[in-house]
Amino acid sequence: MKSTITINQDDNLSSLRVIKTNTTINEQIDFIADNWKTNTSNKLNIIASMFENETGANFNECQSDSAFNKIILNNCNEDMQTINKKLVDYAHLNLI
């Protein structure tokens, strides 16, 4: 059975919800995986911009610090402002 798939996304790019599905299971999995990768990448890019605007530090250079990366990984389900605050606080204490 096939039809359409509808995705709802919240404002902070942190969650996707499948509303209606009539595609094959493999098509659904591929669609969700592609959107998750895109939205995760978009979320990280926004966090990087927020971080660089607030600190003046280069986000990519800060990612060479393993503890900095752990903050991102351990808080990936948090909203972008929360993640940014934790990164900024850590960077001010340890990197900048």
In 3-state terms, what secondary structure has residue 8?
A: strand
**Residue 40 vs residues 14, 37, 45: alpha-carbon distances, Å:** 8, 5, 9
Two tokens at 12?
């902070």
Number of domains the chain contains: 1
Q: Which residues contact 39 (CB under 8 A, 6 or more apart)?
A: 9, 13, 16
pLDDT tens for each residue of 46-57: 999 999 999 999
Two tokens at 39?
């939205």
Residue 1 lies in a domain: no
Q: What is the pTM of this model?
A: 0.63
Specify the pLDDT at position 41: 76
Residue 89 lies in a domain: yes
* Whole-angstrom distance, CA of residue 53 vs CA of residue 90: 15
Confidence bin at 28 (pLDDT 50/70/90) = low
Two tokens at 9?
């996304």
State which residues form the domain around 43. 6-94
Two tokens at 68?
């900095």
- Over its C-alpha atoms, the chain yields an Rg (Å, rounded) of 17
User: Which amino acid makes up residue 70?
Assistant: K
